[in-house]
Chains A and B, each alone.
Chain A
């Protein structure tokens, strides 16, 4: 069956969405890019369609709701709720709610195939793994699509593009593909979210995009979602008279987003309640956060307001007697959000990272420094070295914003002000903002656009892998008691490796023992862009620009257990965007795929 549609799925940390376009469309869709209304339970007994599907799961207990009250227009398990009701009701029953599943999917400190969510749920809750949680959200989207279009064009037969943060490593990408497979989507292509935002913008602008970008421009995508922040740099080039786009670099994974901002306001207001001797329970805190979000939007959208009221209803039926009131002032808004999350800082600043006390609880690795501009400064400085620029930091000429946070003009203005400050000080012109960005739905829309571009329309962003990958090789040396030999890192996949290509690692030969699990330590770098395949980095553990990932391993089936088979390594980036490392038997036919071991992090 050949695909009729390109389907773009934004599998977000807090919200997901689906957009589509016909693969045989002659022209882009312009600014009106179709988004699927997604049926979801909004209250027991009520199903409604919304453009966004909150990426939350609620695992209900037996008899918790009336029979069939959580039923959808398709057959489900009757107890797992995905979407709006899972989000709202979960604040009252946090031990049954799965939130931020995507962040868990990329968390190397836990076994991501183990049933660990909801984190710290009581034993009688049937938990799910981060992979399953992702699969449930994708399954829900698939059902919603199939209910409307399944007869003519079932989702599994369409060309589906799922977006991931640019900062996702090979293991997290693999797990996303695994979740898609569990949801019945076997051929899914992955796309980096900031790139998706650019595709949506390109399609919305149509031919007009060339008026806003010219050859030599460096485009910075600042994507601040509900739970994560992501940066990417793209270069506008020119080849045969046509403008081209190339993705130069992506930032590291930062668990910091718009939700943190609402929480920051809520915490500040809660301190005042505490001072008055009023204690809020978890439900009231959620209501307070919601109320702070509204106050934030009011203040940001109306410069004349000096303060906005915040009210927290009591849980009992006495509304007038139980409501707590406070206000958020503009001063607080500026201090906590604009200055707190987007501080004016120098481009040489680095985000503070204080190690948590020795036995920190294994939770999500939230960013320690809330200063998004400091993370941006570090990103641009790091990339200048990597790109071998003569300037102290990578200097963007243009900015594309993405994420609902930037509906607040003041926050956009602050980012532009800080960036331009760095540039002007370095003698470069100030940045300009690309107009017409769609902040909420660009990622899903751009993903659909990418599927269409891939089939031969419009302009494609070149890029390849945003990291280089290495396996650890123990240095052969005489054993010295108490001395662990350093591990060298052998480059198996260079930076910028394109989809659908492979690279052989020629000279090094490894011995694999048949019948036993063989493990390799696995490293990556987002800045070492000149290492070629086969390059060796001495002392991988001390190299500041290498990051250790999960180990990769395989077990070779063979006749003679214990026999040593000489192999060469080969790395390939599949058409779908996943990295595969294989062992090829030297002078033989044996061929084994090395699996990323996502169950544990390396030693």
Chain B
């Protein structure tokens, strides 16, 4: 699967609703992993629609967590204290959005630093091998990052009555 096909699939899944059951967190890895069930045929999204979904999500993060304001601001001249205070606004708001619309769990439940085994024929979208990648597996290695996966996505429908390219409208206060 090319990177771009995979991205397209990820996007269509992210904005398309329920994930297949295989995405549920697993306690231990089975010795032999069944190939994942074939993904449902991805609805063909026009570039415009894909962009709309991404822009809409960015709009949510801006509205609740001021993410765009934070990223677009030149923070070099501010003290860590100022950046810290602002990051609390971003953290609280963006976290609220994630909690509202997504269920996020680690890909593996073992704690980071533990030694875990990765079977031969592993699901390459769930694991990334680093270091001395050689041989046919199964492998034993140290878990550096537990990964993240979305087990539920319930985003509101992308609006059609407002222009989603406008991520935040200009605000004008009347005296």
Chain A contact residues, CB within 8 Å of chain B: 42-48, 65-69, 71, 92, 294, 309, 311, 313, 315, 317-321, 323-325
- Given A69-B161, A69-B162: A319 and B86 interface contact (C-beta under 8 Å): yes
Partner pick for A315 among B156, B159, B171, CB 8 A cutoff:
B171
Expressed in whole angstroms, the minimum distance between the Cβ of A301 and any Cβ of chain B is 15
Q: Is the CB of A317 within 8 A of B161?
A: no
Of the A-B pairs whose beta carbons lie under 8 Å apart in the complex, a sample of 14, sorted by A's number, is: A42-B156, A44-B161, A48-B156, A65-B162, A66-B163, A69-B161, A69-B162, A92-B173, A313-B66, A318-B73, A320-B73, A320-B82, A323-B89, A325-B88
Partner pick for A325 among B66, B73, B85, B171, CB 8 A cutoff:
B85
Q: Is the CB of A46 within 8 A of B82?
A: no
**Assuming A319-B73, A319-B90, what are 10 further A-B pairs, CB within 8 angstroms?**
A43-B63, A44-B161, A65-B162, A66-B161, A68-B161, A69-B159, A71-B161, A319-B89, A323-B89, A325-B85
In the docked arrangement, what's the CA distance between A56 and B32, Å?
56
Q: Is the CB of B69 within 8 A of A321?
A: no
Residue with the greatest number of chain B CB neighbours at <10 A, chosen from A45, A66, A69, A71: A45
Q: Is the CB of A313 within 8 A of B89?
A: yes
Q: Which residues of A contact B157 (CB under 8 A)?
A: 46-47
- Given A309-B88, A311-B88, A313-B86: A321 and B160 interface contact (C-beta under 8 Å): no
Residue with the greatest number of chain B CB neighbours at <10 A, chosen from A43, A313, A318: A313
Q: Is B45 part of the contact surface with A, judged by Cβ < 8 Å?
A: no
Q: Is the CB of B92 within 8 A of A294?
A: yes
- Given A317-B69, A317-B73: A44 and B162 interface contact (C-beta under 8 Å): yes
B76-95 to A contact mask, C-beta < 8 Å, 1/0: 00100111011011101000
In the docked arrangement, what's the CA distance between A315 and B69, Å?
10
Number of residues from B at the complex interface, CB < 8 A = 27
Q: Which residue of A lies closest to B87 (CB)?
A: A320
Q: Is B122 part of the contact surface with A, judged by Cβ < 8 Å?
A: no
Q: Which residue of B lies closest to A283 (CB)?
A: B173
Q: Which residue of A lies closest to B73 (CB)?
A: A320
Q: Is B5 part of the contact surface with A, judged by Cβ < 8 Å?
A: no
Q: Is the CB of B82 within 8 A of A321?
A: yes
In the docked arrangement, what's the CA distance between A68 and B163, Å?
12
Expressed in whole angstroms, the minimum distance between the Cβ of B91 and any Cβ of chain A is 10
List of 6 A-B pairs having minimum Cβ-Cβ separation, nearest first: A45-B159, A45-B162, A325-B85, A319-B69, A320-B86, A68-B161
In the docked arrangement, what's the CA distance between A309 and B88, Å?
9
In the docked arrangement, what's the CA distance between A309 and B84, Å?
11
Expressed in whole angstroms, the minimum distance between the Cβ of A203 and any Cβ of chain B is 29
CB-CB contacts below 8 Å: B29-87 with A: 63, 66, 69-70, 72-73, 75, 78, 81-83, 85-86
Q: Which residue of B lies closest to A287 (CB)?
A: B89
In the docked arrangement, what's the CA distance between A287 and B163, Å?
26
Expressed in whole angstroms, the minimum distance between the Cβ of B167 and any Cβ of chain A is 11
Q: Which residues of A contact B75 (CB under 8 A)?
A: 320
B81-122 to A contact mask, C-beta < 8 Å, 1/0: 111011011101000000000000000000000000000000
Q: Is the CB of A67 within 8 A of B161?
A: yes
Expressed in whole angstroms, the minimum distance between the Cβ of A85 and any Cβ of chain B is 11
In the docked arrangement, what's the CA distance between A38 and B156, Å?
14
Q: Is the CB of A45 within 8 A of B73?
A: no
Q: Is the CB of A45 within 8 A of B85?
A: no
In the docked arrangement, what's the CA distance between A44 and B56, Å?
12
Q: Which residues of B contact A68 (CB under 8 A)?
A: 161
Expressed in whole angstroms, the minimum distance between the Cβ of B175 and any Cβ of chain A is 12
Q: Is the CB of B159 within 8 A of A318?
A: no
Expressed in whole angstroms, the minimum distance between the Cβ of A316 and any Cβ of chain B is 8
- Given A43-B63, A313-B89: A320 and B159 interface contact (C-beta under 8 Å): no
Partner pick for B78 among A45, A65, A320, CB 8 A cutoff:
A320
Q: Which residues of B contact A43 (CB under 8 A)?
A: 63
- Given A44-B162, A67-B161: A318 and B63 interface contact (C-beta under 8 Å): no
Q: Which residues of B contact A294 (CB under 8 A)?
A: 92
In the docked arrangement, what's the CA distance between A67 and B163, Å?
11
Q: Which residues of B contact A324 (CB under 8 A)?
A: 85
Q: Which residues of B contact A44 (CB under 8 A)?
A: 159, 161-162
Q: Which residues of B contact A319 (CB under 8 A)?
A: 66, 69-70, 73, 86, 89-90
Q: Which residues of A contact B70 (CB under 8 A)?
A: 319-320
Q: Is the CB of A46 within 8 A of B66?
A: no
Partner pick for A311 among B72, B78, B85, B173, CB 8 A cutoff:
B85
Expressed in whole angstroms, the minimum distance between the Cβ of B54 and any Cβ of chain A is 16
Expressed in whole angstroms, the minimum distance between the Cβ of B161 and any Cβ of chain A is 4
Expressed in whole angstroms, the minimum distance between the Cβ of A7 and any Cβ of chain B is 26
Residue with the greatest number of chain B CB neighbours at <10 A, chosen from A67, A313, A323, A325: A323
Expressed in whole angstroms, the minimum distance between the Cβ of A73 and any Cβ of chain B is 11
Expressed in whole angstroms, the minimum distance between the Cβ of B124 and any Cβ of chain A is 36
- Given A71-B161, A313-B66: A46 and B156 interface contact (C-beta under 8 Å): yes
In the docked arrangement, what's the CA distance between A42 and B162, Å?
13
